[in-house]
Structure formats: C-alpha cells, structure tokens
Amino acid sequence: MDQWRKDIRDSINDVETLERVLGVPANEVRDIVDRYPVRITPAVLKMIKEKGDPIWKQVVPTSQEGESDSACHSGDPLHEEKDSPVPNLVHRYPDRVLLFVTNQCPIYCRFCTRKRFVGSPGMLTPDELSQVVNYLSARTEVRDIILSGGDPLMVADVLLERILGALRAISHIEIIRFGTRVPGTLPSRITDAFCAMIKRYHPIYMNLHFNHPDEITPEVALACNKLADAGVPLGSQTVLLAGVNDDPTVMKRLMQKLLAIRVKPYYIYQADLVAGTHHFRTRVETGLKIITALRGHTSGMAVPHYVIDAPGGGGKVALLPRDVLWSISDKEVFVKNYEDKIISYPQPDLQGGAASWAEDLQALSVIAQPFLED
C-alpha cells in the first residue's frame, strides 16, 4: 500500500478516536460528525500544539457547527448549483470553469464552503466525464479549467490521468489548474510517480490551501519543492478565519513562509456565508487591515488579493481599502463586482461598539455614507 493511503487509513475519522486522541467528548460532537465528517491526517495531528490552537480550530468539530445565524443559512451561498450546466461543472465566468472531481478531502475543514457535500461518497464517473468533455468541446471560449472538489489529489494517479488526458484532448483548453489542500495536509501524496505523471500534462498550475504558518512543516516544504521542481507554478489560497489567522502578524508570517517554499500568495478569502460556519467569520475591516499591514511592509510578492466571493454567485470581488462602499449601517458593506453590480455583504455583529468602529474606519481612511441598494 502507498504511504499516503496508509496515512489516510491512520487518520482520525470517527468520534471515538477523536475522544481517545484529542480528548473531545464523543457525545458532544457525534451529531455534528454525522452531518459533517471529520478527518485529521497524521501530518496535521502533528501540527496541533494544544487544545483550541489555530490548527485544532480548523479540523476539530464543535457543537457551534449546529448553530446558524440569519446570514449564514445556506448550504450553497455561492449558487454553484445554479451555475452548473452539466453535473459537477460550474461555468460562471466567460473563459474558465470549475470541475468537481471528488467529494473526498485529506481533512474536513470545519469552515468549508462546500460543507454541503464534502466527505460524502462520490467521484466523477466516466459517464459524467464524457458529459463534461462534450460540453467543453463545444465551448471554444473556455481556456482554463480548475479541478476542485473536494480535493482532486485524493483521486488515484491512474484516474487523474484519465481526466487530464480527456481534457488535454480539447485543443482550446490552454491551462489546467488544481485547487488542493493535499500538499499541506497529506504531503506523502506528492510522490515522484505523481510528479512525473503531472509533468506530461503541462501547463499545470496548483493553488494550495494554507491558513497558518504552523502548517509549513519540513515535510510540507518538501512536497511543495517536489511540485515546484516538476515545473508546477504554485499559488496559495487562504481563508480569513476568526481565531486562526485574523491577525496581521500571523498573516504576514504565513505569506513570507509560503514564498520561502516557492508558493506565491494568490487569494485571501473573506469567509463565505455557509451554514454551520458562522463562528469563523470576521468583519471586512479585519481583512482590509491585514492587506494594509502587508502592502509596503513586506515583499509585494507576499501580498495576495483579498476577495469576497459575492453571495449569490456574484463572483470574486477584490477589495482594496478604498474600493468598499461603506454604508452608514454597521450591519453590512456593499461591494461592486466586475459587472458593476452592487451586492450586500452582511457583517457579523460589531463587537467593540460604535466608537471602535469609527476608529477602524478612520484608520482605513474611509467615510461611511448613506448607500442605496438597487
């Protein structure tokens, strides 16, 4: 058996093991885990230093996932299902598409946008793949495809190669990207054989998922180096998470450490409005303050785009401190997307009171003004 398969087998994936290894009472989280599965790989378990630390918070289930607030009620806040012309494919933007190849992931992040289906059995069937290929063959405007899920690197090399071969047979597809958390959480998956296979399908890009500097261990660095040596340009995607990385010092360290392992920071995402994840949300001011703390203070290479994936399928909107439309209400901000559409992003409750909010706005040099929703 491959080492990475053994690592999956040896992961924590039930409440009894969770109780035995991490001391989380099984009864407190049994209902949650029935709905939203748990998996913690040996590599991630080693990153946890103490109960409740930033790694723990990302992977250990809590009863808060059973709560919902009025903004975070949807299983599919980005309306991915509405924008899906054939099963498993999301076609939202003019020239690129997103393909779900499996529901499996190396770990089940408690804040996941796709909490509605990750961890359930299922991967792209040969029949579904041919529907996708038929659709894409007729869409000559599509030049970029992103393999996602779940995590596409959970699929065996031979099956992945079948998908890559089918996509490479479509001449107008110029680039293939992977969105994956595997190198940072199941580094044993990045074998020499996998790297040799990937090289045959270039140009391949990978956007890796990292949220905290403690995730960059020597074995993770080695996996990233192997991919970079195989000629795969590496980017990172980070989700801004309360209690994990909502701090400029932590974020700066993460971005710098990513560059040191040849991963170029690409996106920091504002948390989506996903049912069962409200406790991870931060206010938009927090993200803007992080960008302000990065820009100019460290390598420009270390500064990603800070984006809101606009609720309802509006697409990603990059936020710069002066491009947010501030309403006089502390309950929401408005963002303008690439089609000049104005969309409301409801904010979690203000913690520090009106005076602290006024201070934040002043520090960001913005003036709140009455704003009409159209």
Residue 112 sits in the site that holds ligand SF4 (CB under 6 A): yes
Chain positions 97 to 126 lying near ligand PLP, rule: CB under 6 A, are 98
* CB-side neighbour CA atoms (13 Å) of 324: 27
Of residues 244, 240, 176, 178, the one with CA closest to residue 208: 178
State the catalytic residue, choosing from 272, 281, 289, 306. 272
Asked if 186 touches ligand SF4 (CB under 6 A), the answer is no
What does 105 bind: ligand SF4, ligand PLP, none (CB cut-off 5 to 8 Å by kind)?
ligand SF4
DSSP H/E element including 367 = none
Interaction between residue 272 and ligand SF4 (CB under 6 A): no
List C-alpha distances in Å: 98 to 31, 85, 119. Answer: 31, 11, 19
**Residues 206-235 interacting with ligand SF4 (rule: CB under 6 A):** 209
Residue 335 CB, nearest distance to ligand PLP (Å)?
15
Single residue of 56, 108, 280, 326 touching ligand SF4 by CB under 6 A: 108
Position 96 contacts ligand PLP (CB under 6 A) = yes
For the question of residue 322 being annotated catalytic, the response is no
Phi, psi of 105 (to 5 degrees): -140, 160
State the nearest-atom distance from the C-beta of 115 to ligand PLP, in Å: 16
Q: Which stretch binds ligand SF4 (CB under 6 A): 102-110, 155-163, 167-175, 321-329?
A: 102-110
| Residue 108 binding target from ligand SF4, ligand PLP, none, CB below 5 to 8 Å by type | ligand SF4
Residues 6+ apart with CB under 8 A from 94: 141
Q: Is 93 a catalytic residue?
A: yes
Q: Determine the interface stretch with ligand SF4 among 147-155, 228-236, 282-290, 352-360 (rule: CB under 6 A).
A: 147-155
**Least distance from C-beta 96 to ligand SF4, angstroms?**
18
The answer to the question of residue 146 lying near ligand PLP (CB under 6 A) is: yes
303 vs 163: CA distance, rounded Å: 33
Residue whose C-alpha is closest to residue 111's, from 282, 283, 287, 320: 282
Phi, psi of 337 (to 5 degrees): -90, -175
- Residue 330 tokens, joined: 């502390």
| Cβ 19 to ligand SF4 shortest distance, Å | 22
Residue 98 binds ligand SF4, judged by CB under 6 A: no
- Residue 61 CA to residue 198 CA, distance in Å, equals 34
Collapsed DSSP state (helix, strand, coil) of residue 35: helix
For β-strands 204-209 and 175-180, DSSP reports them as parallel
Give just the sign of the alpha carbon dihedral 133, 134, 137, 142: negative
Q: Which residues bind ligand SF4 (CB under 6 A)?
A: 105, 108-109, 112, 114, 118, 149-151, 181, 209
Give the active site residues: 92-93, 96, 105, 109, 112, 114, 272, 309, 316
Q: Which residues bind ligand PLP (CB under 6 A)?
A: 90, 92-93, 96, 98, 146, 316
